[in-house]
Structure 1
């Protein structure tokens, strides 16, 4: 009888440790791809190649746009560009990523906006083509649009 109790106790202890391990294990949430290339047209403000970088933590996601082809038309202070990046789902609905985060930029510096905050659901597939990036700089609205699908493909959120 004594052997059965210690065997049962060991099994319960092992089960408890396994459950505790699962409770403390980090959640594996990822977006793929983590970066995608686009070509953007910003009208009179220029255009060219840009990179979108995505990150996800549960339903919270961020996107950052960087471009050496799109440059700052004026010297800009840190966190002075109000931005909304709208991406499109396969069904035509959109998801917006917004924020006022950017590094300080001198005239002619590459443009970086973000990370911009948005909310996603598991399985969301988001594409820049068909959406837009709207930035407001010193009260001047600037709209950029992707001229084709992003590469290597849409962002798919876990």
Structure 2
């Protein structure tokens, strides 16, 4: 067992936001030089439940407010991912080995103009709608299995 094996997972909430066409919101992180796209997600604050965190993160990262979304489904279990060894100690002040995530599927009821990634603390430099099947290919490689798990959890609610 290594020292990193004893580190906890950071509690996190993730949002799969779909539009009327069944496409999924993805953003390109400002702090990453890779051509990777990800769904909104972030830490759960102490005393906050996962659904509240998901809605807060969605607003903080995309400008989309709770009145512009409808909850479709919640994943039945948490999903985990580990950081690559070279990132442990550099991300989250070295406190975590990866994340444990609760995922929520929301339908976007607004217009594209309601999406504002120029938030007070921007996380994305660009955004677009993507086909759900493309998500594992768009994300950084160490999160690809996580995205496959999320897709599997929400498969019944996504276009075939």
Say yes or no: TM over 0.5. Answer: no
Greater helix content:
2
More contact order relative to length (CA 8 Å, sep ≥ 6): 2
Task: State TM-score, norm by structure 2.
Answer: 0.30
Name which one, 1 or 2, has greater alpha-carbon Rg.
1
